[in-house]
Amino acid sequence: MATVFSSAVMAVSGLASSTQPDAIRTPDADTVSPGFAGFLAVFFIAVATVLLIRSMTKHMRKVKFMADQVERTEAEAAGSAVAAGAPAGPGSAPAGTPPEAASTQAASTQATSQG
């Protein structure tokens, strides 16, 4: 057991005290590359980015379409209320009422509300 331990200590001390230039190896700058795994990582990140951008664009178009549709519905509702003859204010007569009937109707509405 002592021999195994002493040989391990000698091997470690031999590595630590080695000052030869070949003990420190630097990779050649021309042959070092990320390899196939690096390519796959970058490729999948690029594909995921493209898919996320497409999805975001689709959702933004949907939100814009829905906002436009709500505005159109509100405009149609306001336009149909005016066209249907909804009163513009208290005491106003419906559309198509002659002026003399409108004045008597307005007077009766005011008398009823006061009374």
Element (H or E) spanning 21, and its range?
none
Check if the beta carbon of residue 60 is closer than 8 Å to that of residue 75.
no
pTM of the model: 0.39
Whole-number Å distance between alpha carbons of 68 and 74: 10
Q: Tokens for 65?
A: 């379409």
Whole-number Å distance between alpha carbons of 23 and 112: 109
Whole-number Å distance between alpha carbons of 60 and 67: 11
Q: Tally Cβ neighbours within 10 Å of residue 102.
A: 14
* pLDDT value of residue 28: 78
Rounded (5°) CA angle 91-96-98: 75
Q: Where are the domains of the chain?
A: 48-76
pLDDT in tens, the chain (115 residues): 556 556 655 555 555 555 565 667 777 777 778 889 999 999 999 999 999 999 999 999 888 888 888 888 888 888 877 666 655 555 555 555 555 555 555 555 555 555 5
* pLDDT value of residue 59: 92
Whole-number Å distance between alpha carbons of 17 and 38: 36
* pLDDT value of residue 78: 84
* pLDDT value of residue 75: 86
* pLDDT value of residue 52: 98
